[in-house]
Amino acid sequence: MATTISSLRQLTANLPAALGHVARESDVKRRSDEYLSAIRSIKSVDDFIANDRVYRYALQAFGLEDLAYGKAFIRKVLSEGIDRGDSLANRLADPRFRELAQAFNFPRYGAATVSFARTQQGTVDRFVRQVLETRAGKTNEGVRLALYFQRKAPTISSAYSLLADRALLKVTQVVLGLPESTGALAIDRQADLITRRLDIAELSRPESLDKLMKRFAALWDLERPTVPSSIADFAASPRPAALGLELIARIQKSQSGG
């Protein structure tokens, strides 16, 4: 069985071809075609929330499918947009919400929002990447986590960005040797532990990020045999969006000084 680092290198070396293959798969293509056809008729946040096909596809594309049940929360994120500094998307530590609000910026552009490439093919490209990462996780969860961390690294601005995303946090814990029990500590305490051990600015440098991923892969294989995980194991693993609204509120409150 290939190691995590060898599998990761093989996949990233042929990433465009791998993404193209996933995009052409019948089920993926069908869902993407349905989304592209339906998104053109969406004129408002209300339309977006009401169209379940568009809503769930978009949330999966932005790694937020596990929060699809929180329609009131997503509605608030989209309705407030990103233009005001105190909007919900700007106050949340997790950058995925701001990315979603930026792509579907109805407060700024109104009905013209869906005419932009980011809401059409850009969202499809995100969806395909999400599918690819999920597939990778069915064989080796470490590869999926590393791919996800690599993709999200440019958006990580603080330790709170890591704490707000369970998949990013899992990679961070492995790399820094932090036990999962640290998750029981106060949010500020966890942020301090990460900040003192990890230079967030280094994540924007390809060489530093590659070194970090090599360390993660080595430690991951050391702690876990590289064997295919069962569907049940995969479903129970730390998924990118598996973050409850309660924890989001805690992080938001901590950052605001409340």
Determine which helix (DSSP H) or strand (DSSP E) holds 75, and give its type and residue range. Answer: helix 71-80
Give Cβ neighbours of residue 241 (< 8 Å, ≥ 6 apart).
59, 63, 64, 65, 66, 67, 96, 165
35, part of any domain: yes
11, part of any domain: yes
Quote the pLDDT of residue 224.
Answer: 74
What is the pTM for the complete model shown? 0.78
Considering the domain architecture, whether residues 93 and 167 belong to the same structural domain is answered as no
57, part of any domain: yes
Considering the domain architecture, whether residues 9 and 117 belong to the same structural domain is answered as yes
Considering the domain architecture, whether residues 12 and 78 belong to the same structural domain is answered as yes
Digit-by-digit pLDDT tens for the chain (258 residues) are: 578 988 888 888 888 999 999 999 999 999 999 999 999 999 999 999 999 999 999 999 999 998 999 999 999 999 999 999 999 999 987 888 999 999 999 999 999 999 999 999 999 999 999 999 998 988 899 999 999 999 999 888 899 989 988 899 999 999 999 998 998 899 999 999 999 999 999 999 999 999 999 999 999 998 875 444 433 333 334 444 444 555 555 555 554 555
128, part of any domain: no
pLDDT in tens, 137-167: 888 999 999 999 999 998 888 999 899 888 9
Quote the pLDDT of residue 233.
Answer: 39
The one-letter amino acid at 176: L
pLDDT in tens, 217-236: 999 998 875 444 433 333 33
Give Cβ neighbours of residue 106 (< 8 Å, ≥ 6 apart).
44, 45, 48, 78, 79, 81, 113
139, part of any domain: no
Considering the domain architecture, whether residues 113 and 36 belong to the same structural domain is answered as yes
Boundary-marking domain end, from 68, 88, 122: 122
193, part of any domain: yes
Boundary-marking domain end, from 87, 122, 157: 122
Residue 193 sits in a domain whose CATH number is 1.10.3700.10
Domain span including residue 18: 4-122
Considering the domain architecture, whether residues 105 and 17 belong to the same structural domain is answered as yes
Considering the domain architecture, whether residues 157 and 89 belong to the same structural domain is answered as no
129, part of any domain: no
133, part of any domain: no
The number of domains in the chain is 2
